[in-house]
A and B are shown apart, each in its own frame.
Chain A
């Protein structure tokens, strides 16, 4: 084989596919040997670079298996945990609201009772005569306007009787 390796043949060489003729040519041809060396060096550099980069990562160290399981289980439990937290918060938020409603109801009842009492007091205060004295008051008429005419009539009758 007298011609140089083509680009395809270099790639095939890198995969490990080469003919005896190609092998012989590379041994004798510095140019093809250099091209293959350049390719192999680039790939080796890439391997070293990836390994160097990977080794420098904090995740490169094998973790304790406990932490793996905890992380995985944690990720499964997490939604349930959040649901429980949400439910607990809901209960905690509902208790003051419920209490508040109860307090308001109690306050409303007290206010109604107060209003009723005040109405009763007003009614009592507005009486001319206290309730226990009402039967007595019925016996005695305090209505002068109503009695004046009758008294004058009585006086007139008395005068007429005297003249007679």
Chain B
């Protein structure tokens, strides 16, 4: 969960510090959303530059992180809409090896059977997340990858808290359904 720290002016004014502190999170969210490392890097760069340029409009209603994520959400949406065709073409050309990513399971001394089951479930979640509608995927990633709470997600997406809950619920239902099928 993101600590709700009052953003200081110096943190936003100092672009170097802003990038150092928040880059990984923005990049990761873009990567998980677009599943393309190059596109994620580009979106992350745009996100920080846009944040820096519009820093005077930032009134501190939310955390710096939520504010950055809001910019990232918009950029990712624009990117996916503008380049949907290219994105899917690239995805088909396996820019991301989903099979390999979905197979990652930390070795916790589990039995081969439970390891295999965990890998199967992980692959199911990856596939389900990839097939979610844009808003559901966004709130799912912000909640379960970025550990943001519902209010932060609402601030980052510009949705009402109730709408965030609805999208999250639907996303979870889709993931559960996929997991059930993979069993």
Please give the residue numbers on chain A whose beta carbons come within 8 Å of chain B beta carbons, in ascending order.
7-8, 10-12, 14-17, 38-39, 41-43, 45-55, 57-63, 65, 68-69, 71-72
Contacts and interface: CB of A to CB of B under 8 A. Distances in A.
28 contacts: A7-B173, A8-B173, A10-B176, A11-B172, A11-B173, A11-B176, A38-B179, A43-B175, A45-B121, A46-B125, A46-B129, A46-B145, A48-B106, A49-B102, A50-B141, A53-B31, A54-B32, A55-B24, A57-B40, A59-B40, A60-B24, A61-B23, A62-B23, A62-B24, A63-B23, A65-B16, A65-B19, A68-B45
B131 to A, nearest CB: 14
Given A46-B125, A46-B129, 12 more contacts: A39-B179, A41-B118, A42-B175, A45-B105, A48-B106, A54-B27, A57-B31, A59-B41, A60-B27, A62-B23, A65-B16, A68-B48
The binding surface of chain A is classed by DSSP as helix
Contact of B169 (A12, A51, A57): A12
A60 to B, nearest CB: 6
A156 to B, nearest CB: 118
B28 interface: yes
A50 B175 CA distance: 16
Interface in B117-142: 118, 121-122, 124-126, 129, 141
A10 B102 CA distance: 23
Interface in B49-65: 49
A19 to B, nearest CB: 15
Nearest to A10: B176
B15 interface: yes
Nearest to B169: A11
B101 interface: yes
Listed from nearest, the 4 A-B pairs whose CB atoms lie closest are A62-B23, A59-B41, A11-B172, A54-B28
A15 B169 contact: yes
Interface of B: 15-16, 19-20, 23-24, 27-28, 31-32, 37-38, 40-41, 44-45, 48-49, 101-102, 104-106, 118, 121-122, 124-126, 129, 141, 144-145, 147, 150, 165, 168-169, 172-173, 175-176, 179
Contacts of A10: 176
Nearest to A13: B172
Contacts of A48: 104, 106
B104 A49 contact: yes
Given A59-B44, A63-B45, A50 B176 contact: no
B27 A59 contact: yes
Nearest to B41: A59
Most buried by B among A14, A53, A57, A60: A53
Contacts of B15: 65
Contacts of B106: 48
B165 A43 contact: no
Contacts of B16: 65
Contact of A14 (B31, B44, B172): B172
Contact of A38 (B19, B20, B121, B141): B121
Nearest to A14: B172
A62 B145 contact: no
Nearest to B97: A53
Nearest to B144: A43
